[in-house]
């Protein structure tokens, strides 16, 4: 697992025209199967489970989630048994995420969508059925996850470059919460929710920070206009942007999180949203297995 991932500068005439500089924190290079923010969020949960003497971890997620994919691979690498509680019914053949998860030794258990909404209520029953386990939360966001993301924040704080704005995509908001509570106060954070109606993340992010006993170190806001219709919609202009970005800058993006964020950042740069001289750092939070 590679930490202290590199920061790469992007060269593009649009940046020069608008007087800004753009950098990418390459957390996609952490590990091919446990990439980006998922590793940051998993790390202390795995260590905690081991420390408490658990040999099994149960976690929850959607059938296509990067969280399930990353947890399965991390479990195998660290010698822990992982149970994946998957939202919805079983569909065979398994989709690529679940068939990968199973290949890593994850035990897949399904839960209907209604029960899944209150998944925590089912934990005691599951423990009776499956034996004792450590519970890692839905989407992997808890205080221990923020602790892992804070290490990413520290890497940015300690970089020999100075940044004015740090941008990251948001799903549950755990990653943004970790950045907001760990970055030095001279930076500000822009969050790009992947979902439509992403304003709900304001409360969720504040909640994660509070629950973790942390505080907001930096000014931050959400940019909610770049969801492209929702979680997994394939919009042609987004797909084209991702392809061009790859060709021009040799950085691969994906269409659920990092593609939308970088589309948004480039669009905002073109619209003069940033101040002259701003140094913008975008977090590449990984998730590239969806492209394979
Ligand atoms: C899961 C994921 C996110 C969202 O992270 P949250 O902490 O849930 O907001 C962003 N980018 C990628 C690539 C992801 O896999």
What does the pLDDT read at residue 152? 98
**Three-class DSSP category at 268:** helix
Is there an atom of ligand 1 within 6 Å of 253 CB?
no
Which pLDDT value is given to residue 50? Answer: 94
**What is residue 138's three-state secondary structure?**
helix
Residue 100 reports pLDDT greater than 90: yes
Cα–Cα distance for residue pair 231/6, rounded to 1 Å: 28
Q: Does 232 have pLDDT greater than 70?
A: no
Mean pLDDT, residues 214-221 taken together: 98
- Cα–ligand 1 centroid distance for 257 (angstroms): 7
Compute the distance from residue 262 Cα to the ligand 1 centre, in Å.
14
Cβ–ligand 1 distance for 69 under 6 Å, the answer: no
| From 35, 55, 65, 285, active-site residue | 65
Atom of ligand 1 nearest to the CA of 177: 7
Query: Where residue 138 falls among pLDDT bands split at 50, 70, 90?
Result: confident
**Tens digit of each residue's pLDDT (9 = 90 or more) over 46-78:** 999 999 999 999 999 999 999 999 999 999 999
Q: What's the CA-to-centroid distance between 258 and ligand 1, angstroms? A: 9
| Architecture (CATH level 2) of domain 37-140 | 3-Layer(aba) Sandwich (3.40)
Instruction: Tell me the per-residue pLDDT of 158-213, one tens digit each, with 9 for 90 and over.
Output: 999 999 999 999 999 999 999 999 999 999 999 999 999 999 999 999 999 999 99
User: Which helix (H) or strand (E) covers residue 229, if one does?
Assistant: none
pLDDT attached to residue 130: 93
Domain ranges for the chain, please list them.
7-36+142-291, 37-140
> Which residue's CA lies nearest to atom 3 of ligand 1?
171
Q: Evaluate: CB of 224 within 6 angstroms of ligand 1.
A: no
| Least confident among 121-125, 163-167, 173-177, 259-263 | 121-125
Nearest residue to 198 (alpha-carbon basis) of 177, 178, 227:
227
pLDDT interval class at 119 (50, 70, 90): confident
Average pLDDT, the chain: 95
Residue 234 has pLDDT above 90, yes or no: no
pLDDT range class, residue 38, cuts 50, 70, 90: very high
Give yes or no for residue 65 CB within 6 A of ligand 1.
no
Residue 233 predicted with pLDDT over 80: no
Task: Name the residue among 165, 239, 224 with its Cα closest to residue 194.
Answer: 224
How many whole angstroms separate alpha carbon 280 and alpha carbon 161?
Answer: 11
Q: Which atom of ligand 1 is nearest to the CA of 36?
A: 13
65 is catalytic: yes
CB of residue 97 inside a 6 A radius of ligand 1: no
- CATH architecture type of domain 7-36+142-291: 3-Layer(aba) Sandwich (3.40)
- CA 38–ligand 1 middle distance (angstroms): 7
CA torsion 256-95-175-189 (nearest 10°) is: 0
Establish whether domains 7-36+142-291 and 37-140 are of one fold.
yes
130: left (phi over 0), alpha (psi -120 to 50) or beta: alpha
pTM: 0.95
Q: At what angle do helices 66-77 and 96-103 cross, to 10 degrees?
A: 10
- The two tokens of residue 266 are 């480039």
Q: What percent of the chain has pLDDT over 70?
A: 99
Tell me the CA end-to-end span of the chain in Å, nearest whole number.
20
Q: Which atom of ligand 1 approaches the CA of 257 most closely? A: 11
Q: What pLDDT is recorded for position 253? A: 98
Helix (H) or strand (E) holding 71, with range, is: helix 66-77
**3-state class of 114 per DSSP?**
helix
């Amino acid at each position: 697992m590679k930490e202290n991932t590199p920061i790469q500068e992007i060269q593009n005439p649009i940046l020069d025209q608008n007087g800004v500089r753009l950098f990418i924190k390459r957390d996609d290079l952490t590990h091919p199967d446990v990439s980006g923010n998922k590793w940051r969020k998993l790390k202390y949960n795995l260590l905690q489970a081991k420390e408490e003497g658990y040999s099994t971890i149960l976690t929850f997620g959607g059938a296509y989630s990067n969280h399930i994919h990353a947890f399965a691979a991390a479990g195998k690498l660290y010698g822990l048994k992982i149970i994946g509680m998957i939202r919805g019914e079983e569909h065979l053949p398994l989709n690529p995420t679940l068939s990968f998860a199973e290949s890593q030794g994850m035990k897949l258990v399904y839960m209907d969508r209604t029960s899944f909404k209150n998944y925590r209520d089912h934990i005691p029953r599951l423990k009776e059925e499956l034996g004792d386990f450590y519970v890692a939360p839905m989407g992997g966001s808890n205080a221990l996850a923020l602790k892992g993301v804070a290490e990413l924040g520290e890497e940015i704080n300690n970089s020999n470059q100075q940044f004015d704005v740090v941008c990251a995509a948001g799903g549950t908001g755990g990653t943004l919460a970790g950045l907001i509570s760990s970055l030095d106060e001279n930076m500000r954070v822009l969050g790009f929710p992947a979902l439509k109606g992403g304003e709900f993340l304001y409360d969720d992010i504040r909640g994660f920070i509070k629950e973790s006993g942390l505080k907001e170190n930096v000014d931050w806001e959400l940019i909610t206009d770049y969801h492209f219709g929702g979680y997994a919609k394939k919009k042609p202009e987004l797909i084209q942007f991702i392809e061009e970005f790859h060709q021009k800058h040799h950085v691969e993006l994906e269409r659920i999180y990092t593609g939308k964020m970088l589309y948004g950042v480039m669009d905002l740069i073109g619209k003069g949203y940033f101040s002259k001289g701003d140094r913008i750092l975008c977090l590449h939070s990984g998730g590239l297995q969806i492209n394979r």
